[in-house]
Amino acid sequence: MQVIGEASDGLNAVRKAERLKPDLIVLDIGLPTLNGIEAARRIRKLCPECKILFLSQESSLEVAQEAFNLGAMAYIVKTHAGSELSAGLEAVCQGRLFASKGLSGRNRSKATDAQPADEFFQQEVLPPLVPGTPKITHSHEVHFYSDDEAFLLGLAPFVEAALNAGNPVIVIATESHRKNLFQTLVARGMDGVAVIEEGLYITLDVYEALSTFMVNDLPDPVRFLKIFGDLLSSTLNVAKASYPRVAAYGEFAPTLWAQRKVEAAIQVEHLADELARTHDVDILCGYMLTRFQREQESHIYERICAEHSAVLSQ
């Protein structure tokens, strides 16, 4: 085998895959800028003939399921790389699927190298979820609003649904949006004092939050993922729901777009999407955008939409 290219982040991996058209790509999942799952999804569209092998510290069967659903041919847990990587590479080159023994919950007694790839994958690697266990979903939505009234009508139900379920909410927005949203929620029946005292309603100023991870007008992926990954984990501890999740509303990318820092806005959406895929969080991004702005800057609008799991305009 000959190594023809290397990449240190997901976006670069996609670009190099498109340019080099390698026979085989070894991908991590915890990549900066664009996680490995999303990178693989894009690579499969650009060069479907490329075979993909995942090498990750993540041992979850559900993550492996998503990787295989994307078209990956092998998934190896890093702690087993010493004994499995060579075998995995060989299997992929021969057109066989390969799943690591390090995947949580695998029935190892029945897994053999001689087992047909499709039978091995379907029967042994990915058993059904335990009944009653919620499936982890990827929720990173974007809503485009024409004015403040539409903004409040769209955001208030998102916050109320989370609070009514016993889940915490994080709002990262401008001062006027935070103030108007809070007043709207109280008018609709929210006990503002109680949710704040219980740690269920957290608000942050978008400009102050941006200053914690922006470096030279671009987001630092390590800082972003560390700061907000930790925030999500700590916030989740106060949840009262049976299956806790955090509801997070943010205006990072809209603020950067308004400042004409378009690439920074796109990169922030990449990072937010990575959080949505790796944490128990429902993320909603809100953009104030007129139809004229959308038409005049349609190329930016389309790139923003592409980074989300759902798009809604009001």
What CATH number should be reported for the domain holding residue 44? 3.40.50.2300
Provide φ and ψ at 60, rounded to 5°: -70, 135
Token look-up 């993540």 returns 58
User: Which residue range is the domain that position 306 belongs to?
Assistant: 139-313
Looking at the chain, the whole-number percentage of residues with pLDDT higher than 90 is 51
Residue 238 within any structural domain of the chain: yes
pLDDT recorded at residue 199: 93
Q: What is the mean pLDDT of residues 48-76?
A: 86
pLDDT recorded at residue 131: 40
**Do 117 and 151 sit in the same domain of this protein?**
no
Residue 279 within any structural domain of the chain: yes
Residue 161 within any structural domain of the chain: yes
Residue 118 pLDDT greater than 70, yes or no: no
Residue 217 within any structural domain of the chain: yes
**Do 72 and 149 sit in the same domain of this protein?**
no
| Model pLDDT for residues 164-214, shown as the tens digit of each residue | 999 999 999 999 999 999 999 999 999 999 999 899 999 999 999 999 999
Q: What is the mean pLDDT of residues 115-127?
A: 37
Is residue 284 exposed (0-12), middle (13-18) or buried (19+ Cβ within 10 Å)? buried
Q: Which of 43-52, 87-96, 132-141 has the lowest mean pLDDT?
A: 132-141
User: Residue 185: which CATH number?
Assistant: 3.40.50.300
Residue 101 pLDDT greater than 60, yes or no: yes
**Do 21 and 74 sit in the same domain of this protein?**
yes
pLDDT recorded at residue 59: 84
Residue 69 within any structural domain of the chain: yes
User: H/E/C letters for each residue in the chain?
Assistant: CCCCCCCCCHHHHHHHHHHHCCCEEEECCCCCCCCHHHHHHHHHHHCCCCEEEEEECCCCHHHHHHHHHCCCCEEEEHHHHHHHHHHHHHHHHCCCCEECCCCCCCCHHHCCCCCCHHHHHHHHHCCCCCCCCCCCCCEEEEEEECCHHHHHHHHHHHHHHHHHCCCCEEEEECHHHHHHHHHHHHHCCCCHHHHHHCCCEEEEEHHHHHCCCEECCEECHHHHHHHHHHHHHHHHCCCCCCCCCEEEEECHHHHHHHCCCHHHHHHHHHHHHHHHHHCCEEEEEEEECCHHHHHHCHHHHHHHHHCCCEEEEC
Q: How far apart are the first and last CA of the chain?
A: 53
Residue 3 within any structural domain of the chain: no
Q: What is the mean pLDDT of residues 8-15?
A: 88
Residue 142 pLDDT greater than 80, yes or no: yes
**Do 110 and 149 sit in the same domain of this protein?**
no
**Do 73 and 160 sit in the same domain of this protein?**
no
**Do 54 and 153 sit in the same domain of this protein?**
no
Tokens read off for 106: 């695998």
pLDDT recorded at residue 137: 58
Spatial CB neighbours of 59, under 8 Å, sequence gap ≥ 6: 77, 79, 100, 102, 103, 104
pLDDT recorded at residue 252: 96
pLDDT recorded at residue 6: 93
Residue 57 pLDDT greater than 50, yes or no: yes
- The angle at the Cα of 293, spanning 287 to 299, to the nearest 5 degrees, equals 85
Give the domain-ending residue among 125, 158, 184.
125
Q: What is the mean pLDDT of residues 117-133?
A: 37
pLDDT recorded at residue 128: 36
Give the domain-ending residue among 103, 125, 147.
125
| Model pLDDT for residues 215-231, shown as the tens digit of each residue | 999 999 999 999 999 99
pLDDT recorded at residue 121: 39
Residue 295 pLDDT greater than 90, yes or no: no
Domain count, the chain: 2
**Do 274 and 160 sit in the same domain of this protein?**
yes
Give the domain-ending residue among 95, 125, 155.
125
Residue 17 pLDDT greater than 70, yes or no: yes
**Do 65 and 183 sit in the same domain of this protein?**
no
**Do 146 and 278 sit in the same domain of this protein?**
yes
**Do 171 and 289 sit in the same domain of this protein?**
yes
**Do 112 and 148 sit in the same domain of this protein?**
no
**Do 152 and 276 sit in the same domain of this protein?**
yes
Confidence of residue 314 (pLDDT cuts 50, 70, 90): low
